[in-house]
Amino acid sequence: MATVQILLLEHDDVEGLYPFTDTHCSWEIRTGHYTILERWTKSLPGHTVSVVSHRDLHLRSFVERHPETPAFVQAPTLLVASHVLLSPEVMRRLVTMCESSTETFLVACSGLTVGAFVSHELATPHAAVEVLDALSADQCSTVECAGHIIRRLWQTLDHIDLSIVWDAELVDQLISQQASIHPSAVLDDSMGPILIADGVRIEPLAVITGPASIGKDTIVMPHATLDTVAIGPVCRVGGEISSSIIQGYTNKRHDGFLGHSYIGEWVNLGAATTTSNLKNTYGNVRVTFVWGTEDSQRMFLGLLMGDHSKAAIGTRFPTGTVCGTSCNIVRDGFTDNSIGSFRWLDESYDIEKAIAVIQTSMGRRSRSLGPATEALLRYLAG
303-314 residue pLDDT tens: 999 999 999 999
- pTM recorded for the entire structure: 0.96
Q: Is the pLDDT of residue 168 over 60?
A: yes
What pLDDT is stored for residue 127 in this prediction? 86
Between 26 and 349, whose confidence is greater?
A: 26
**What's the residue count for the chain?**
382
Mean pLDDT of 247-261: 98
pLDDT tier, 192 (very low <50, low <70, confident <90, very high otherwise)? very high
What pLDDT is stored for residue 2 in this prediction? 63
Does 157 map to a domain? no
Instruction: Give the number of domains in the chain.
Output: 2
What pLDDT is stored for residue 126 in this prediction? 86
Answer yes or no: do 248 and 127 share one domain.
no
Does 39 map to a domain? yes
Closest CA to 246 of 324, 233, 272, 97: 233
Mean pLDDT of 9-17: 94
Answer yes or no: do 26 and 58 share one domain.
yes
pLDDT tier, 7 (very low <50, low <70, confident <90, very high otherwise)? very high
Q: Is the pLDDT of residue 1 over 60?
A: no
What pLDDT is stored for residue 246 in this prediction? 98
Task: Look up the CATH number of the domain holding residue 247.
Answer: 2.160.10.10
Answer yes or no: do 146 and 204 share one domain.
no
Question: pLDDT, tens digit, for every residue of 44-100?
Answer: 999 999 999 999 999 999 999 999 999 999 899 999 999 999 999 999 999 999 999
Does 159 map to a domain? no
Answer yes or no: do 177 and 298 share one domain.
yes
Mean pLDDT of 159-181: 98
Answer yes or no: do 124 and 221 share one domain.
no
Q: For the chain, what is the mean pLDDT?
A: 95
Q: Is the pLDDT of residue 346 over 80?
A: no
Does 15 map to a domain? yes
Answer yes or no: do 185 and 281 share one domain.
yes
Q: Is the pLDDT of residue 18 over 60?
A: yes
Q: Is 177 exposed, middle or buried (0-12, 13-18, 19+ CB in 10 A)?
A: exposed
What pLDDT is stored for residue 348 in this prediction? 83
**Parent domain of 76:** 5-151
Does 167 map to a domain? no
